[in-house]
Structures are given as C-alpha cells and as structure tokens.
Amino acid sequence: MLKRPLTMLAVVMLAALGSLTTTPATAAGTPTDGLAHVHGRIVGEDGEPLGFAEAVLYLRMPGGQLAMVAFEHANDDGWYDLSVVPGRYIVWFTPVGLHPLGTYFDEYYPNTHDPTAAREINFRADTTTRVSARLDRASTISGTLTVTGSIPPSQFTPVAYDAHTGASEAGWVNEDGTYEITGLPHGSYVVYVTYYDEETDTLILRYWPDSPTIHGARNVLIPRARNVTGIDITVT
C-alpha cells in the first residue's frame, strides 16, 4: 500500500467535520457560506464501498511539497463530504488501515499513484464538486527461478522495478524456486533477481527474460486487477 506523503505541512483544517471523476456543479441545497464543498464516493474496483477510507486535500507548495489542508472519512456506503476555503487542491484517496495491507492502493486524481503527476482541481466558493474514486486492487508477479550452481534459489531476491517512477518492490523465493512479488499497482515493470555474495564480493543480477543487464530486459505489463504468472528466470 502506498503511504501518505512524508513531507507535508499542516496548513489549516477546514473539513466539515481504474478511475477518478470530477463533476463540478452548484447543487441544490449547497450552502452559501463562501466555502468550497467536495462530495464523492470511494469504492473498490468491483464497486464495493470502502467505508472509512479517506479523501485528503493537499496544496502544492512552491518547493513541490504537499501541504495537507483537509481530510474526511467515508461512511459505510463509501460517501464523504468536506468543505474548504476555495482554491486549487490535489485530491488523494487512501483506504488507510481498515483493509488488509496491500489489498487496495492509494490514488491521486486523476488515477495516478505518482504525486508528481497529480492534477490540481479548482474548487469554487458556494459550489459542490464531486470527486469520486475507484481504487485498484494490488497485483502479483510470480514465476519460477532456476539456478544452475551451488547457490539455493531461496537466497535470491526477486524485484519489480518501475522505470517511470523509480519505485521498486521486492518479493521472496521459496525453497522450490517459485517466487512472488506482491503489492504491485497496475503498470509496466522490469523484473530481475539478485544475489550478493559477501565472501567473494560478487553481485549476481539476471533480468527477465534472460539478460545480465537492464538493456536486454523486457517489460512485464500488469493490467488492472490482474496477476501475472509464468515470469520464469534462469541463472547460470
């Protein structure tokens, strides 16, 4: 599960305490209090409501830092409502800790896991803007590692690397050579296995499907809500 940004500045708390969509509208009954009102629903990829998930608003500061302004939990049906000073905000949705770790992924509007790609929304005074989220389930890459030599396969570490964001996720190899890398959002990954021998100061790398360098690697594409199997690697 992606974590809430560690670099944040608490500015002011004014909460009225896939895919993402926004539909600005001055709804009937919208308060004329000079505040901007945000309303939406947070669900999983199958449409199931994610009760008590969070909608969080951030300001993007001049240095690129995100300053948290307001947040609200969704109710049991996945709906949330909050109010803030009018302005341009980034919206972040998170299932927080109420769901099994890695079951769903946090997302920024519009449907991105990368905070630098998040798009600001202009929330206007006395206007209700709907911003809803359909969060992705985590996916898994799996396969079999075959090692010809004296090193047990379980001593290797399998890794999925996202060249676009620079993020990576490590997995594990079982005694029989089968491996899994879990907790991955949809996207394109380079998969490799690595082993470091401290006694000989030797680093072994092998990229899927069969390359000692990343230049010979092929990308593994994970569609939404899919697990990818059969990514087998052989190390000689």
pLDDT at 98: 54
Check if the beta carbon of residue 226 is closer than 8 Å to that of residue 139. yes
The total number of structural domains that make up the chain: 2
For residue 44, is it within any domain?
Answer: yes
Same domain for 126 and 145?
Answer: no
In the chain, how long is the greatest CA-to-CA distance?
Answer: 73
If you search the block for the tokens 């002011």, which residue do you land on?
Answer: 12
Instruction: Indicate which CATH number applies to the domain containing 90.
Output: 2.60.40.1120
The C-alpha angle with vertex 11 and arms to 135 and 61, in degrees rounded to 5, equals: 75
**Which structural domain, as residue segments, surrounds residue 98?**
21-135
Q: Which residues of the chain register pLDDT less than 70? A: 1-30, 97-102
What per-residue string of b and e applies to 136-172 under the rule 16 or more CB within 10 Å gives b?
bbbbbbbbbbebeeeeebbebbbbbbbeeeebebebe
Query: For 117-155, what is each residue's pLDDT tens digit?
Result: 899 999 999 999 999 999 888 889 999 999 998 899 999
Same domain for 88 and 103?
Answer: yes
pLDDT at 29: 57
Domain end call among 135, 166, 186: 135
Six-digit token string for 204: 């072994």
User: Peptide bond before 209: cis, by omega within 30 degrees of 0?
Assistant: yes
Round to whole Å and give the CA distance between 143 and 187: 18
- Report the Cα 84 to chain-centroid distance in Å: 25
Query: For 82-105, what is each residue's pLDDT tens digit?
Result: 999 999 999 999 987 555 545 788
pLDDT at 165: 78
pLDDT at 15: 31
Same domain for 120 and 101?
Answer: yes
Same domain for 87 and 153?
Answer: no
For residue 205, is it within any domain?
Answer: yes
pLDDT at 166: 85
Same domain for 131 and 143?
Answer: no
pLDDT at 102: 54
pLDDT at 199: 84
pLDDT at 23: 47
Same domain for 152 and 131?
Answer: no
Same domain for 144 and 74?
Answer: no
For residue 2, is it within any domain?
Answer: no
Same domain for 49 and 119?
Answer: yes
pTM across the whole model: 0.64
Same domain for 145 and 76?
Answer: no
